[in-house]
Amino acid sequence: MELSNSEKLAFTANRSVLSLTSPTKLNIITGNGANKSQGLKRNSLRRTTSLNIRGSSAVNSVVKPDFNVPFRRQKISSHKLPLLNRSSSFFKERSGIEHSNKTDSMGDNAMKDSAGSNLMNKSTGTTPFERPSLTRTSSNIVFSLNRPALTKQESIDDLNDPYFYQTDRFIPLMKSNSQNKIDPIAGNDDLPPPNASPKAHLKAQTKIAFKETVAEACGFGAKQRILQYMPKAPVSSLTRKSYSLQNRTHYSYSSFTSSSQSNTKSHKDLMRLRKINTNPEKILDAPGFIDDFYLNLLTWSKKNILAIALSNTLYLWNGNSGDVSLLVEYDATNITSITWSDDQCHLSIGKDDGNTEIWDTETSTLVRTMRSNLGVRIGSQSWLNTLLATGSRSGEIQINDVRIKNHVVSTWEEHSGEVCGLEYKSDGLQLASGGNDNAVIIWDTRTSMPQFIKHNHNAAVKAIKWSPNIANLLATGGGQSDQYVHFWNTTTGNKTGSINTGSQVSSLHWGQSYNSSYASPYQSSNIHNDIKSDCYKFNNTLNREIVTTGGNPGNAISVFNFDTKYKVAEIENAHESRICCSQLSPDGTTLATVGGDENLKFYKIFDSKRKNIRRNKSVVDTEDILGLFTHNNDENNNHTQDHENTNLNNANNDTDKNIDNDQEVDYEDDTNLRTTRVTSRKTTDYLIR
Amino acid sequence: MSKGIDLKGSTRTISEFFEYSINSILYQRGIYPAEDFTTVKKYDLTLMRTHDDELKQYIRKILSQVHKWLLSGKCNKLVLCVVDRDEGDTVERWAFNVTHISKEPQESITEEVTPISQEETQKQIRALIRQITASVTFLPELENEGNYTFNVLAYTDADAIVPLEWSDSSSKEIEDGEMVEFRSFNTEMHKIGAQVSYKYQQ
């Protein structure tokens, strides 16, 4: 008995189970119920009711009402009360007699019930031969109905036996079974094979007749099923993109797959399109500004003093007070490059005649004049503490130590054209230079030898900037016939990426933006869950961006996302002629540009890093808390951790993230350390300011 | 007789009609935003068809299955239910009855089945789609647009082969709904009737 029970259960499990709406199956239940005792009649009634709901609704709206339904049912169920009863107890009786044939013979018996024959007690003799001819559809139903009685192994003799209620209760179980497909065999009302016993034929005939009756009563054709296509209809694109429409900042580039990021996350595909103010915050007149691509005539100190060279004069503009002062005016020679020293007090001025002067801006006095003895203009400079690298028109790079008398400590001759871009890496181990010979050279400052020489650009390379976050990441931008920005891993010398800017790159700067606006409670409630979490991530995510200034066409300021390389913002016609130089404000938000139109304009481009640090310090930020609550717990934890990290050192944390994302770049061990140092330096700067 | 279309052609016509009518309904009833649709010339009409890939794929998947059923003559009704996203109620039920003429000779009575030219079919389809389009005028306005989705039901024979994505369902009838019968069209092998039922609101 035990065995056969489990067999039966297993059998039932992988049989298809009736579905309410599928008459081909329904009928069997009803068939059983109809022939059964009063106790089961309750069962059959319920089923009938549920059927009628569907049936009558169908009837109401589609077919003419058929009021015969209840009548027929009653008629059918009014006789042969004891049958099920007998069958239930019958199982028990038989349990001792027959073991091997149990499963099938029970189905058999039930079939006989439904056939309305009185062969119940004889059916023990069901031949194995007959078994396959049993229509399988019926068997599962019968099993399910009988299951409780069988498992309990109690005799059910009383018509009002409580197990009938149990039977009743098991119906929903069957209904809840998701496997409600009819198997094709079951659907076919196959007649038994010709060699089957007359009983089987009679059974089959009765079954078909009954099916038709029920189906007719229910209002659909006997052989019909209603199928629903289960996958959900896609959400309308409006809803899908609602967040982007609200903010006009998100765009999905599904086709975009970053080659440099193998573990591209879903939110990586979401591009941010930023909104930046296309109107300058301030415009200053810059009369006499030399419209020369190769010169670096603008520099902005960390103390917020902007120096600009206009032909032969040098002006200082104090960003805090707005005061303008004249530092120096030369008689004949033009100024060709200016750079603030690392101590922010001294300004080096490269001149047309090849001399470099160092001025103390606090006292407005000339501290030192260093002669290059080359006789050609100094177009680019870069400071490293006491060292000043100067790039000359003839291609030499001189390293001057301002402390010693023979200031030229080394001269590097590798460029064959004017050196117009020059910048030390923050740790001083490397110097990147770009020249009019279209070459980018990365120098090893310890060996004074070129480490890498890159000829990927097709035009003069003036725009050179090291990434503030990743120590060995360098961005270089080419001139009019090149228009590309290339990214270099200066440890391995690999090019890690490129951007076609579509115009001359006269300068470029690294910047950042934060997606702080997306975590506002209103929006996050509207956004789909996973996106929501992404948004939250965004909220803490630094978007590394590049701003480039250009000339033809458009004279535009363009902002690119470093990770996606997509242009995320643009200020077209920022100047009336090409932009020659630009400098980023000490807080990293505002870009000062000066162009051939002799205007100095200030554009707010980036989000302030400082602001973000401050915001993270105040942990009890409503936005963030709301953001936290909208998340799953596990994510929540992560974010909380992230958050703490961010509090400690925002930039450092960002670097960590970048390392995670950017696999191709080969990081040096002390990357983090160095970045920390840089950051702390910056933080102090902010404090000073 | 021979100039009429065969079963395959007839089925294709019907599947195509389903695609366009589903698209039209989705557009007309604002289930999907108008921006998702572009105009196409079909049946000498300017119809709206979605260009949203996800939706296109979804409809195509449904119809390719329906097409298979039609080919084997096992599908006799296709229903598009407009369902309230929150409540799950069916607010509109567009039903397309498919009658297989060849299969049920007793229904096409005794008279000889006259061959139906493709042009005739096209004309009928046009009329039917026009009606569907025009039905917007009497159908109740769907409040808070964008809050609706749709389900597709197929009435098939019990012995039809059913892929996993399809499962038995209720008929999703609208209780106490109003019903409007549309025109029908015939192909050589099929007769397609259409009707819409909708929630009647005072």
User: Per-residue pLDDT tens for A165-217?
Assistant: 444 444 444 433 344 444 444 444 456 666 667 777 778 778 877 777 776 66
Q: Which of A60, A61, A188 sits opposite B159 (nearest CB)?
A: A188
A179 touches chain B (CB under 8 A): no
Cα A119 from chain centroid (whole Å): 68
> Nearest by CB to A57, which of B54, B152, B175?
B175
Among the residue ranges A91-105, A326-340, A486-500, the one predicted with the least confidence is A91-105
CA B162 – CA A227 distance, rounded (Å): 9
**Domain ranges for chain B:** 7-159+177-198
Q: Is the pLDDT of residue A91 over 80?
A: no
pLDDT confidence of residue A108 = 45
Residue predicted with more confidence, B53 or A17: B53
- Any CB–CB contact under 8 A between A254 and chain B? no
pLDDT score of A676: 42
Q: Residue A443 and residue A432: Cα distance in Å, rounded?
A: 6
Q: Does A604 touch chain B (CB under 8 A)?
A: no
> Would the pLDDT of A122 be above 80?
no
pLDDT digits (tens, 9 = 90+) for A30-65: 434 444 444 444 444 444 444 444 444 444 444 444
The yes-or-no verdict on residue A640 having pLDDT over 80 is no
- Chain B positions contacting chain A at CB under 8 Å are 31-33, 35-36, 52, 54-55, 58, 61-62, 65, 76, 146, 149-162, 165-177, 179, 197
What pLDDT score was predicted for residue A522? 38
Task: State the amino acid at position A500 in one-letter form.
Answer: N
**Distance between CA atoms of A462 and A464, rounded to whole angstroms?**
6
Is B58 within 8 Å of A234 when comparing Cβ atoms? Answer: yes
A171, A40 contact by CB (below 8 A) = no
Token pair, residue B126, equals 């046009």
- As a whole number of angstroms, the distance between CA A369 and CA A333 comes to 14
Identify the CATH homologous superfamily for domain B7-159+177-198.
Answer: HORMA domain (3.30.900.10)
Residue A54 forms contact with B (CB below 8 Å):
yes
**What percent of chain A is predicted at pLDDT more than 70?**
49
Q: Which of A96-100, A262-266, A559-563, A572-576 has the lowest mean pLDDT?
A: A262-266
Cis peptide preceding A553, ω within 30 of 0: yes
Residue in B33, B156, B177 closest to A225 by CB: B156
pLDDT band at A540 (very low <50, low <70, confident <90, very high): low
Residues of B in contact with A528 (CB under 8 A): none
Sorted by sequence, the CB contacts under 8 Å of residue A544 that are 6+ apart come out as A467, A469, A510, A511, A512, A561, A562, A563, A658
What local confidence, expressed as pLDDT, does residue B176 receive? 79
Q: Is B171 in contact with A58 (Cβ distance < 8 A)?
A: yes
What tens digit of pLDDT does each residue of A218-238 get? 655 556 778 888 887 777 655
CB contact set of B171 (below 8 Å; sequence gap of 6+): A21, A54, A57, A58, A220, A226, B79, B153
pLDDT band per the 50, 70, 90 thresholds, residue A348: very high
φ/ψ (deg, to 5) at B25: -65, -45
Please judge whether A237 and B52 are an interchain contact, meaning their C-beta atoms are less than 8 angstroms apart.
yes
What percentage of chain A has pLDDT greater than the value 90? 6
**Alpha-carbon separation of residue B168 from A182, A216, A231 (angstroms):** 9, 19, 13
Strands (E), A470-518: 473-478, 484-489, 494-500, 507-514
According to DSSP, the residues that pair with A387 across neighbouring strands are A384, A401
pLDDT at residue A341 greater than cutoff 60: yes
Region class of A430: left (phi > 0), else alpha (psi between -120 and 50), else beta: beta
Higher-confidence residue of A209 and A465: namely A465
A232 touches chain B (CB under 8 A): yes
Q: What is the mean pLDDT of residues A334-347?
A: 90
Mean pLDDT check: name the lowest of A151-165, A212-226, B120-134: A151-165
Min Cα–Cα distance to chain B from A589, Å: 37
pTM over 0.80: no
Mean pLDDT across A77-87: 44
Residues of A in contact with B177 (CB under 8 A): 61
Burial of A633 (0-12, 13-18, 19+ CB in 10 A): exposed
* Paired residues of A226 in beta bridges: B155
Those residues whose C-beta lies under 8 Å from the C-beta of residue A130, and which sit 6 or more positions away, are A108, A196, A197, A200
Give contacts of A 88-107 with B, CB under 8 A.
Answer: none
**Residue written as tokens 């549309």?**
B182
Please state the domain extents for chain A.
295-512
B122 and B43 Cβ atoms separated by less than 8 Å: yes
For residue B64, pLDDT beyond 60: yes
Task: Transcribe A430-475 into DSSP letters.
Answer: EEEEEETTS-EEEEETTTTEEEEEE---SS-EEEEEE-SSSTTEEE
**How many angstroms away from the CA of A232 is the closest CA of chain B?**
8
Task: Please report the pLDDT score of residue A339 as a whole number.
Answer: 92
Least confident of A238-247, A295-304, A469-478, B118-127: A238-247
CA-nearest residue of chain B to A224?
B157
Q: Is A223's CB within 8 Å of B158's CB?
A: yes
Three-state DSSP state, A94: helix
Smallest Cα distance from A579 to chain B, Å = 40
Give the pLDDT confidence score for residue B102 in this predicted structure.
Answer: 62
Yes or no, beta carbons of A226 and B62 under 8 Å apart = no
Of A187, A225, A234, nearest to B168 by CB-CB distance is: A225
Amino acid at B164: L
Q: Mean pLDDT, chain A, as a whole number?
A: 65
Whole-angstrom CA distances from A151 to A1, A225, A241 are 9, 33, 55
Q: Tokens 């390293």, residue?
A: A399
Contacts B35 to A, Cβ<8 Å:
237-238
pLDDT score for B54 = 85
**ipTM (interface predicted TM):** 0.79
A264-270 average pLDDT score? 39
CATH number of A295-512: 2.130.10.10
**With 70 as the cut, is the pLDDT of residue A523 above it?**
no
Q: Mutate which of A61, A211, A244 to disrupt the B interface (most B C-beta within 10 Å)?
A: A61
With beta carbons under 8 A apart, name residues in chain A contacting B65: 229
**Lowest mean pLDDT across A386-390, A607-611, B101-105:** B101-105
> Is 70 exceeded by the pLDDT of residue A143?
no
Does the CB of A241 have a partner CB in chain B at under 8 Å? no
